[in-house]
């Protein structure tokens, strides 16, 4: 009975609030919309960073005298490393064919290549790590025994890690900074939302102060007094969450159709459709937690029961 009374009283309190309740829902909607936008922004940044990571690699070039069997042996050793995602082998003939294709319209370059009377290009291995921070350890591994032929002489001509190191380091820092900034922004807006809802609940408590005084006089329990305000805050959060979820459908579709080419193939609308349950859960739980938390804080501070 007490729980039922809390629900009924909380609902009536929300409805009696009128413009104040509506304003609270609007404010909470803005906050949850920001949280929703951060979800999409995080997904976009993750997609972009993964795309960049897929283009970052370390290329190992071998001396022209290196045999294919020795190179494939190095490839096999690399593939066994837990840090390595994949290794691609390019023979010297394949490198030459690709070079000619890239310079098909540059006759001077092709003529100079023909005058050499042979294939000057090295065979190579393109190594992609599972994480950008692992490239240095992979290079160290290559500089050790797996890069030696059966005769004990190194078959590695050069490794382009030093040229890519700056890009790799910047990418690693960008990934870390993006995660930290995103988390900080979420916390900032969550605090702002709680403070705004806190002020609104405080106003509701002030309006109902006479009713609260009567309940205290007749010996009402703390939960009996506090419960309706918690329900009111929860209703505010749920309604705001539902509004945001409804608005995200047309918003994600509009943004997705206009900017898919800008994001390298990332579609906001497709992401929302594929991850609806995740977004739904985050927005709804955020609304409930923020509304209830603000109510509890206001009750403890201003009711003193």
The answer to whether residue 51 scores a pLDDT higher than 70 is: yes
Q: Which CATH class, in words, describes the domain spanning 64-154?
A: alpha beta
pLDDT number for residue 256: 73
Torsion angle, alpha carbons of 171, 174, 176, 180, to 10: -170
DSSP bridge pairs for 59: 126
Cα–Cα distance, 63 to 156 (Å, whole number): 6
Helix, strand, coil % (nearest 5) of the chain? 75, 10, 20
- Closest of 25, 32, 23, 22 to residue 245, by C-alpha: 32
Over pLDDT 90: what percentage of the chain? Answer: 0
- Average pLDDT on 8-14 reads 66
The answer to whether residue 78 scores a pLDDT higher than 80 is: yes
The answer to whether residue 305 scores a pLDDT higher than 60 is: no
Give me the residue spans of the domains in the chain. Answer: 2-52+170-302, 64-154
> Containing H/E element for 278?
helix 276-302
Each residue's pLDDT tens digit, 221-246: 666 777 777 787 788 888 888 998 88
Most confident of 35-44, 145-154, 253-262: 35-44
More reliable by pLDDT, 96 or 222: 96
| Angle, helices 135-142/68-79, rounded to nearest 10 degrees | 140
Each residue's pLDDT tens digit, 35-48: 888 788 778 777 87
């Amino acid at each position: 009975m007490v729980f039922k009374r809390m629900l009924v009283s909380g609902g009536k309190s929300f409805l009696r609030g009128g413009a104040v309740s509506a304003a609270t829902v609007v404010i909470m909607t803005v906050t949850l919309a920001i949280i929703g936008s951060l979800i999409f922004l995080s997904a976009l940044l993750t997609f972009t960073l993964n795309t960049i990571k897929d283009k970052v690699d370390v290329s190992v070039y071998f001396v022209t005298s290196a045999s294919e069997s020795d190179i494939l042996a190095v490839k096999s050793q690399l593939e066994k490393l837990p840090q390595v995602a994949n290794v691609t082998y390019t023979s010297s003939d394949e490198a030459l064919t690709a070079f000619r294709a890239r310079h098909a319209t540059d006759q001077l370059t092709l003529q100079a290549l023909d005058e050499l009377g042979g294939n000057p290009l090295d065979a190579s291995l393109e190594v992609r790590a599972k994480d950008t921070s692992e490239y240095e350890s992979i290079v160290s591994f290559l500089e050790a025994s797996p890069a030696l032929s059966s005769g004990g002489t190194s078959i590695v001509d050069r490794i382009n890690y030093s040229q890519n190191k700056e890009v790799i380091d910047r990418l690693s820092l960008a990934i870390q900074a993006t995660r930290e900034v995103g988390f900080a922004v979420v916390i900032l807006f969550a605090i702002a939302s709680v403070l705004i809802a806190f002020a609104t609940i405080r106003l509701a408590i002030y309006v109902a102060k006479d009713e609260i005084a009567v309940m205290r006089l007749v010996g009402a329990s703390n939960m009996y007094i506090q419960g309706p305000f918690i329900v009111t805050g929860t209703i505010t959060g749920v309604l705001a969450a539902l509004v945001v979820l409804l608005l995200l459908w047309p918003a994600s579709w509009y943004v997705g159709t206009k900017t898919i080419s800008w994001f390298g193939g990332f579609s906001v609308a497709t992401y929302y459709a594929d991850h609806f349950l995740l977004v739904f859960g985050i927005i709804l739980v955020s609304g409930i937690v923020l509304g209830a938390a603000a109510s509890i804080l206001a009750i403890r501070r201003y009711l003193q029961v």
